[in-house]
Amino acid sequence: MACDRYVAICQPLRYSELMSWQMCMWMAAGTWGAGFANSLLQSNLTWSLPFCGHNVINHFFCEILAVLKLACGDISLNALLIMAASAVLTLAPLLLIFLSYVFILTAILRVPSVAGRHKAFSTCSAHLTVVVIFYGTISFMYFKPRAKDLNLDKLPALFYGVVSPSLNPIIYSLRNAEVKAAAIALLRGDLLSRKMSRFPVVL
């Protein structure tokens, strides 16, 4: 999305050339491949650990940090690889997103009309909201010190695993003018009263 917004705003005349179907497929395959390779590496290292005692994971799902707490062997290599993978797979894309928005911001500030600047900013607002929600919670989960209360570790995982993906369609659909107008009307209570007026209750 950051690459798409960068090309659309900074290189609009070359958009169809730079963001071709093949390029989108390569970018999607690269991200899926990196995620799959990281998951395979982490899983193989976790399977090689000795587990003793009860094997009940104190979490909503098989989150790698919760599984490692059950191991009774040395998990220093696992912890090091998790930190390295988090840095590469989380901070590197975040840095690229940040750089793309620096270029986008400089391009927008060169637009002479206020309406043009507002339109360019509005195309990026949904993506920036999703980036802040997702990367904020996932960075808090993997880069903060371990909490003494295990329930505090569950909340960020629940947020980036459930809440953030659930909010994505809502955030992106609010860019649609009709959806935005309906949401504003719903918040004001106009939408419900209009629907009720269409269907009067007959006693």
The CA-based dihedral angle spanning residues 162, 168, 169, 170, taken in that order and rounded to the nearest 10 degrees: 100
pLDDT in tens, 14-73: 888 888 899 989 999 998 999 899 889 888 888 888 887 777 777 777 777 778 888 888
Tell me the pLDDT tens digit for each residue of 132-147: 777 777 766 666 655 5
Is the full-model pTM beyond 0.85?
no
Single-letter code of the amino acid located at 94: L
d(CA 13, CA 107): 14
Rounded mean pLDDT, 101-107: 86
Name all contacts of 8-14 with Cβ < 8 Å and 24+ positions apart: 8/123, 9/104, 9/107, 9/108, 9/120, 9/123, 9/124, 10/103, 10/104, 10/107
